[in-house]
């Protein structure tokens, strides 16, 4: 089993990804850290505790950063995820309580407690990971790996969702993303290049509702408003399950085609949040990318296999 720390800003697709992660026998959830992003830190943390009640995982939940690495306020996406960031479904007061540590501190402690055995799956802005690296750079050599949902590199024409050239998680804290992508740990970046290829359409979501038991009904309900955002903004009758693709990549990397090379992030200005890889063996002269380690960018995915893996986790054949 792969030990996983889930760094998240729940978030509709975060909740769908966490529900999947908890069900997978290949993955052992050892910690959840929250971060500003889809909503303010209090809301996303309350949601994470609600999901702990709902999915019944034992892993501790620690509250992470409510501001960016440069202490700026992020820009919550209530128009996408709803005012309560869980599709405005009813979210009762959580029973679960917080771990007393700050998110980045718990991340450091867990990585040090399980050297070379922990994968950090980060599906929100990368502030907590950047803070953890700053406090304890050695963790870069102690993790098994890092999988990030974020960025957009132009594969299949996908270049951004909060601007023509930037994806939300990276754009919400570009300095943190640049610190994470240039650190000496192995990062696999699951960006819009592949997450916008994998659409959970109406029939797919209805099947989760009808054949996925209580959790399937929850996944359908929590994504209802998220679906109407996709319909209005992209005339898409379905949803991009961004964060689930990162979890799928952590457990089934063979479904993804990876391109290798150092990655940098534009910080500030018109293109702030743009992610740019200098592919290995590319003909460019030495520049801002070359002092940094090569990372892996997902440029393609077996969509049918990934969506099948997600659905079969909830829909059992005998359920009619």
Q: Which residues are catalytic?
A: 242
Element (H, E) at 120: strand 118-122
Residue 320: helix, strand or coil by DSSP? coil
Residues in touch with Ca ion (CB under 5 A): 9, 11, 14, 123-124, 243
Closest approach of Cβ 170 to ligand RIB, in Å? 8
Q: How far apart are CA 9 and CA 36, in angstroms?
A: 6
Q: By C-beta, is 87 or 124 nearer to ligand RIB? A: 124
Q: By C-beta, is 116 or 232 nearer to ligand RIB? A: 232
Q: Please give the residue whose beta carbon sits closest to ligand RIB in the complex.
A: 168
Binding to ligand RIB, residues 140-179 (CB under 6 A):
149, 161, 167-169
Residue 244 contacts which entry, Ca ion, ligand RIB, none (Cβ below 5-8 A, type-dependent)? none
Contacting ligand RIB (CB under 6 A), which of 22, 123, 143, 311?
123
C-alpha pair distances (Å), 94 with each of 13, 65, 161, 174: 20, 20, 32, 32
Q: By C-beta, is 142 or 221 nearer to ligand RIB? A: 221
Residue 239: helix, strand or coil by DSSP? strand
Residue 47 contacts which entry, ligand RIB, Ca ion, none (Cβ below 5-8 A, type-dependent)? none
Secondary structure string (H, E, C) spanning 77-102? CHHHHCCCCCCCCCCCCCCCCCCCCC
40 sits near ligand RIB (criterion: CB under 6 A): no
Question: Checking DSSP bridges between strand 118-122 and strand 145-149, what pairing results, if any?
Answer: parallel
Give CA 298 to chain center in angstroms: 14
Closest approach of Cβ 13 to ligand RIB, in Å? 5
Q: By C-beta, is 123 or 239 nearer to Ca ion? A: 123
Applying CB under 6 A, the span of 10-18, 60-68, 105-113, 312-320 interacting with ligand RIB comes to: 10-18
Residue 183 contacts which entry, Ca ion, ligand RIB, none (Cβ below 5-8 A, type-dependent)? none
Closest approach of Cβ 288 to Ca ion, in Å? 28
Furthest-apart CA atoms within the chain: distance in Å: 60
Question: Checking DSSP bridges between strand 256-261 and strand 295-301, what pairing results, if any?
Answer: antiparallel
Q: How far apart are CA 192 and CA 195, in angstroms?
A: 5
Contacting ligand RIB (CB under 6 A), which of 178, 193, 243, 302?
243
14 sits near ligand RIB (criterion: CB under 6 A): yes
Q: Are 4 and 27 within 8 A, CB to CB? A: yes
Q: By C-beta, is 169 or 225 nearer to ligand RIB? A: 169
Residue 200: helix, strand or coil by DSSP? strand
Residue 45: helix, strand or coil by DSSP? helix
Element (H, E) at 224: helix 224-234
Contacting ligand RIB (CB under 6 A), which of 3, 4, 7, 9?
9
Give the footprint of ligand RIB on this chain (CB under 6 A): 9, 11, 13-14, 37-38, 123-124, 149, 161, 167-169, 242-243
């Amino acid at each position: 089993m792969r030990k996983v720390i889930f760094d998240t800003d729940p978030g509709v697709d975060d909740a769908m990804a966490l529900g999947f992660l908890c069900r997978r026998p290949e993955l052992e959830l050892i910690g959840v850290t929250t971060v500003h992003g889809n909503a303010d830190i209090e809301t996303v943390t309350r949601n994470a505790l609600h999901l702990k009640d709902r999915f019944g995982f034992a892993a501790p939940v620690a509250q992470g950063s409510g501001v960016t690495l440069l202490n700026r306020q992020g820009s919550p996406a209530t128009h996408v995820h709803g005012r309560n960031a869980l599709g405005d479904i009813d979210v009762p007061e959580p029973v679960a309580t917080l771990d007393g540590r700050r998110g980045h501190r718990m991340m450091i402690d867990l990585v040090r407690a399980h050297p070379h055995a922990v994968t950090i799956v980060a599906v929100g802005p990368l502030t907590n990971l950047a803070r953890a690296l700053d406090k304890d750079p050695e963790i870069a050599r102690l993790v098994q790996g890092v999988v990030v949902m974020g960025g957009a590199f132009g594969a299949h024409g996908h270049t951004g969702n909060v601007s023509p050239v930037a994806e939300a998680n990276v754009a919400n804290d570009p300095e943190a993303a640049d610190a994470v992508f240039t650190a000496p740990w192995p990062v696999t970046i699951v960006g819009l290049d592949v997450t916008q290829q994998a659409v959970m359409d109406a029939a797919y979501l209805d099947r989760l509702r009808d054949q996925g038991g209580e959790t399937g009904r929850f996944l359908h309900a929590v994504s209802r408003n998220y679906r109407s955002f996709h319909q209005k903004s992209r005339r898409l009758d379905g949803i991009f399950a961004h964060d689930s693709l990162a979890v799928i990549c952590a457990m089934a990397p063979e479904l993804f085609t990876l391109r290798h090379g150092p990655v940098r992030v534009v910080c500030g200005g018109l293109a702030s949040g743009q992610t740019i890889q200098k592919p290995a063996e590319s003909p460019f002269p030495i520049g801002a990318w070359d002092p940094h380690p090569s990372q892996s960018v997902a440029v393609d995915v077996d969509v049918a296999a990934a969506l099948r893996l997600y659905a079969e986790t909830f829909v059992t054949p005998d359920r009619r």
